[in-house]
């Protein structure tokens, strides 16, 4: 049986410490089954580090009856493979959601808070599709603020979760591809910055364009190197 939860909120403290496990995709689903969970969901974000653009999060509940081959941490996949998996995940998962927090949100809140808020938005959207997981696996060290109006579920953060869970890997792919496509659209509006190439990260070319043109409206003004 899963560990009992308190009536207050889903916190990492509700879980037993994980035993030593291999870092391979699917190991967290094996852990979840061992804990008695049957319907895990995965949550991840993309875009914490760039100097420009939004932070994007995704939440995914996969269909175990229709497994998707090739899922892995989005950073370990080629752009072509990510694009193909993006379409497969959206088509074959039980439900997904995507949350976006803009550069203005990031400047107002800070990147950590904005990232967790994007996760909350993604999870709310996924839940609106009518699915109800019994455990939520989140990439990183933090849990996201629980959406008001939703019954508490067990929520557990995992460092390198996108390399250890099918569902978190799927979320990492959705978030990464969605954000990359947003940055490519921004490139069409502000081609002088090269967003289509570096996706807002602080490359030498991006820093040079900032020195020449100054920031545009999608730059994160609170990030070092922008102003």
Query: What is the domain-level CATH number for residue 127?
Result: 3.30.420.10
Confidence of residue 23 (pLDDT cuts 50, 70, 90): confident
Asked, for residue 226, whether it belongs to a domain, the answer is: no
pLDDT in tens, 160-202: 999 999 999 999 999 999 999 999 999 999 999 999 999 999 9
**Structural domain of 58:** 25-213
| Residues 108 and 223: beta-carbon distance below 8 Å | no
Q: How many domains does the chain have?
A: 1
> E-strand spans in the chain?
40-46, 55-61, 95-101, 135-139, 154-158
Asked, for residue 119, whether it belongs to a domain, the answer is: yes
Cα of 66 vs its chain's centroid, Å: 22
How high is the mean pLDDT of the chain?
A: 91
Residue range 75-92: mean pLDDT, rounded: 97
Asked, for residue 9, whether it belongs to a domain, the answer is: no
Phi/psi for 172 (5° steps) reads: -65, -35
| Residue 136 bridge partners (DSSP) | 41, 155
Asked, for residue 135, whether it belongs to a domain, the answer is: yes
Helices of type H across 93-203: 103-109, 111-127, 166-189, 195-198
| Residues 10 and 159: beta-carbon distance below 8 Å | no
Evaluate if pTM is beyond 0.85: yes
Asked, for residue 162, whether it belongs to a domain, the answer is: yes
Asked, for residue 37, whether it belongs to a domain, the answer is: yes
Residue range 34-62: mean pLDDT, rounded: 97
Asked, for residue 218, whether it belongs to a domain, the answer is: no
Asked, for residue 142, whether it belongs to a domain, the answer is: yes
pLDDT in tens, 109-134: 999 999 999 999 999 999 999 999 99
Q: What is the model's pLDDT at position 8?
A: 34
> What residues contact residue 128 under an 8 Å CB cut-off, 6+ apart?
97
pLDDT in tens, 200-218: 999 999 999 999 999 999 9
Q: How many C-alpha atoms does 37 have within 13 Å on its Cβ side?
A: 22
């Amino acid at each position: 049986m899963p560990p009992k939860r308190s009536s207050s909120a889903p916190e990492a403290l509700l879980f037993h410490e994980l035993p030593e496990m291999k870092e391979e995709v699917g190991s967290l689903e094996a852990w979840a089954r061992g804990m008695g969970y049957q319907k895990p969901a995965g949550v991840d974000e993309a875009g914490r580090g760039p100097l420009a653009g939004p932070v994007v999060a995704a939440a995914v509940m996969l269909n175990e009856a229709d497994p998707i081959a090739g899922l892995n941490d989005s950073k370990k996949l080629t752009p072509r493979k990510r694009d193909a998996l993006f379409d497969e995940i959206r088509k074959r998962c039980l439900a997904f959601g995507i949350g976006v927090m803009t550069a203005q949100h990031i400047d107002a809140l800070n990147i950590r808070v904005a990232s967790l808020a994007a996760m909350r938005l993604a999870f709310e959207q996924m839940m609106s599709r009518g699915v109800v997981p019994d455990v939520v696996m989140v990439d990183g060290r933090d849990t996201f603020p629980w959406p008001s109006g939703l019954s508490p579920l067990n929520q557990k953060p995992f460092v390198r979760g996108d390399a250890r869970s099918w569902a978190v890997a799927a979320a990492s792919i959705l978030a990464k591809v969605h954000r990359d496509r947003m940055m490519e659209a921004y490139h069409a509006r502000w081609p002088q910055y090269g967003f289509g190439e570096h996706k807002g990260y602080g490359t030498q070319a991006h820093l040079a364009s900032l020195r020449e043109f100054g920031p545009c409206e999608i730059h994160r003004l609170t990030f070092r190197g922008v102003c």
